[in-house]
Structure formats: structure tokens, C-alpha cells
């Protein structure tokens, strides 16, 4: 049995753990198995850049972040675009066939899963494992890397609390989450943030300022705002997709948190500071929960390989690991529910979402 393996898209802490769970299960239960590791994601599959893995390659990596195979971003929307005569899909199929692979296992997020589904529809045997710190893959309660990212963001917010309290400042902390706000919501609640701004809940800056002023009246001279990188004002939310994209591009990479700060400064007198957690949320060691659940993801992936059950995405539902058809998840995002229990409970606690 020859199994191809690649990690695609943004890195996260539990990629190595998941590959270890898959590989160790296959080595232990399949008499003759060879794992081919493609380097730097789908690019490795396109250009035939790979290495033949050995059992020792998967040893000692359970606590190592990042990915031993490397990764890259290959946007799904460009997969079928032929550039300089290079057909990406045809090249990936050729590599798969030339290596006589029995299947390909893809560890990736939403874009990578769409590409995995594309290859499945092209006739390749594909299995996908849900990787993304954003936890926005449709069909699974959990994606590996998510809890580790929450831990880092929560710790960062905890540390900001002490300096904010010491100087009576309002701190706006940018948390990763371009399209969805799961990390920001979870870390915001866990750290006791006073305001949480999410892409799914357009904010009214007047209501944000009202929440901060109320804290001041209650004798609390500092405030913490957890702001997802995709947070959006109610005014911008009314724009067309094209109009809003132009606004984002005009920021030239500058965080939306600075816009929130500038808007808020018009309504409050407190000193405002902005801080960005950034890529640290993807880095470092995987937390214990990620190690445990990612191992289970890898084991289930191996089960699918051994059963020749392809075209599937491994998922976690109600703490049970199973699999669903790739095409059920591909192209869908799992958003924060603005009326869901997490948001509703947070509001009862007194957290403002600016709406």
C-alpha cells in the first residue's frame, strides 16, 4: 500500500501529531505500507517534490508544532487556472499516478478541503483531516489547532489585563479570525474581555463606547476589547462585497483594531492602545487537548485508508470521531451563531458585542 501525505494552507500546532497518529496506525496494522510525504503542500504534489517517509520520521514529534513536511497556500480559485502552460490539476494527477499511490491524505482547512474534493471528483482516492486554528470547517465540531490557538490568545489577553489595569487604559487586542470569530469569542470569554467584536456581529461604535463608559461609572477604569481581525462595523456591513474589499485593501495591511481605536477615541476620553497577537497563535507546541484529539483524528484517517473508504473528511461530532463525504463540507464555512448559546450566555454575563 502506498499512501501520499501532505499538509496544506496555514500551519498550526497539531499537524505533526495528526500525521503521527495516522502513520503509526498504518505501520502497525498494515503489513506492507509506504508513506510518501509531499513537501510544501499541494506544490509538492504538483511538482513531484516528495520524500519516502520512514517510521522514525514520525517519532518524537507529538509535542512539535508546525509541520515536518512544510506547507504553502495554493488558493482553490486558482487550482484550475492554467498559468504559463502549467495545468496544476493535471500535474497533481500525474504525480499521483506515476507514484502508483493507493490514496492521498490531506491535512488542511477549508481551501485545502475544497482542493481535496476536486481531486476526489477527478477520480483520485482522497481522505481529508480538518486542520485550521479558526475552527470554521463545516461538518465538524472541532478542527485540530483550534484549542492551542485559544490557549495562546487567552494567555496574551490575560497578560494585557495587568498593564491595562495599571494604567487605566482601554486595550484593543486583535485576535486571528478573518471570516469567522471562533477564536476571538472563546479567548475573549476565557480571559474575561469586556467587549468582543466578531465578523458575524457588525458593531456599532456608539454601543461599544457605551459599554466602556458604563464600566467607568461602575468604578472600573480600564477595559479589554477582543477584536477579531475580520471585525466589521454596521456601516461597512451594508456595503457590497466589492466596496468592502476596497476598504480592506486601502488599509494596506493595517489592522482593523486601529480603525476601532480611532472611532472609539471620538466618544471616550480614556487612553487607548492597540496590540496584535499575530502569528504566535499558530506557533509553539500543541496543547494536551490538541495532542489527544489530533491523535484520534489520525487514527480514524488510517481506518479509512485501511478500509479503502475514500472521498471522506474525518470529523468530530459530540466527542465521537467519524467521517462525512468530502463534498458535504467543501465550500462551506462554520460561522459563529450570533444567537447561539455562547454569545447569548456571554451577553448575560455582561460582555458587549457592540450591537
- The set of catalytic residues is 134
Give strand pairing partners of 2: 34
Three-state SS sequence of the chain: CEEEEEECCCCCCCHHHHHHHHHHHHHHHCCCCEEEEECCCHHHHHHCCEEECCHHHHCCCCCCCCCCCCCCCCCHHHCCCCECCECHHHHHHHHHHHCCCCEEEEEECHHHHHHHHHHHHCCCCEEEEEECCCCCECCCCCCECHHHHHHHHHHHHHHHHHHHHHHCEEEEEEECCCCCCHHHHHHHHHHCCCEEEECCECECHHHHHHHHHHHHHCCCCCEEEEEECCCCEHHHHCCCHHHHHHHHHHCCCCCHHHHHHHHHCCCCCCEEEEEECHHHHHCCCCCHHHHHHHHHHHHHHHHHHHCCCCCEEEEEECCEEEEEEHHHHCCCECCCCCCCHHHHHHHHHCCECCC
Amino acid at each position: 500500500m502506498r499512501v501520499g501525505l501532505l499538509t496544506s494552507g496555514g500551519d498550526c500546532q497539531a499537524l505533526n501529531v495528526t500525521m503521527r497518529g495516522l502513520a503509526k496506525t498504518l505501520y502497525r496494522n498494515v503489513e506492507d505500507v509506504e508513506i510518501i510525504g509531499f513537501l510544501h503542500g499541494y506544490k509538492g504534489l504538483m511538482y513531484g517534490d516528495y520524500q519516502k517517509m520512514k517510521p522514525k520520521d514520525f517519532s518524537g514529534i507529538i509535542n512539535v508544532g508546525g509541520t515536518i513536511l512544510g506547507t504553502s497556500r495554493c488558493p482553490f480559485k486558482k487550482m484550475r487556472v492554467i498559468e504559463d502552460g502549467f495545468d496544476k490539476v493535471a500535474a497533481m494527477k500525474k504525480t499521483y499516478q506515476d507514484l502508483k499511490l493507493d490514496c492521498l491524505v490531506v491535512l488542511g482547512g477549508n481551501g485545502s478541503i475544497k482542493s481535496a474534493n476536486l481531486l476526489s471528483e477527478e477520480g483520485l482516492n482522497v481522505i481529508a483531516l480538518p486542520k485550521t486554528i479558526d475552527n470554521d470547517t463545516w461538518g465538524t465540531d472541532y478542527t485540530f489547532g483550534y484549542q492551542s490557538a485559544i490557549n495562546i490568545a487567552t494567555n496574551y489577553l490575560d497578560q494585557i489585563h495587568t498593564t491595562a489595569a495599571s494604567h487605566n487604559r482601554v486595550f484593543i487586542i486583535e485576535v486571528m479570525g478573518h471570516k469567522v470569530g471562533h477564536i476571538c469569542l472563546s479567548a475573549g470569554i476565557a480571559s474575561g474581555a469586556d467587549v468582543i467584536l466578531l465578523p458575524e456581529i457588525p458593531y456599532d461604535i456608539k454601543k461599544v463606547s457605551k459599554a466602556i463608559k458604563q464600566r467607568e461609572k461602575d468604578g472600573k477604569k480600564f477595559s479589554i476589547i477582543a477584536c477579531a481581525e475580520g471585525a466589521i462595523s454596521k456601516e461597512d456591513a451594508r456595503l457590497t462585497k466589492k466596496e468592502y474589499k476596497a476598504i480592506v485593501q486601502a488599509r494596506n495591511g493595517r489592522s482593523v483594531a486601529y480603525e476601532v481605536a480611532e472611532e472609539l477615541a471620538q466618544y471616550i476620553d480614556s487612553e487607548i492602545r492597540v496590540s496584535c497577537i499575530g502569528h504566535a497563535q499558530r506557533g509553539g507546541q500543541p496543547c494536551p487537548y490538541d495532542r489527544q484529539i489530533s491523535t484520534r483524528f489520525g487514527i480514524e484517517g488510517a481506518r479509512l485508508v485501511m478500509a479503502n473508504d475514500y472521498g471522506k473528511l474525518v470529523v468530530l461530532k459530540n466527542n465521537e470521531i467519524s467521517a462525512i463525504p468530502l463534498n458535504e463540507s467543501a465550500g462551506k464555512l462554520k460561522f459563529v451563531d450570533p444567537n447561539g448559546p455562547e454569545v447569548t450566555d456571554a451577553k448575560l454575563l455582561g460582555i458587549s458585542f457592540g450591537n
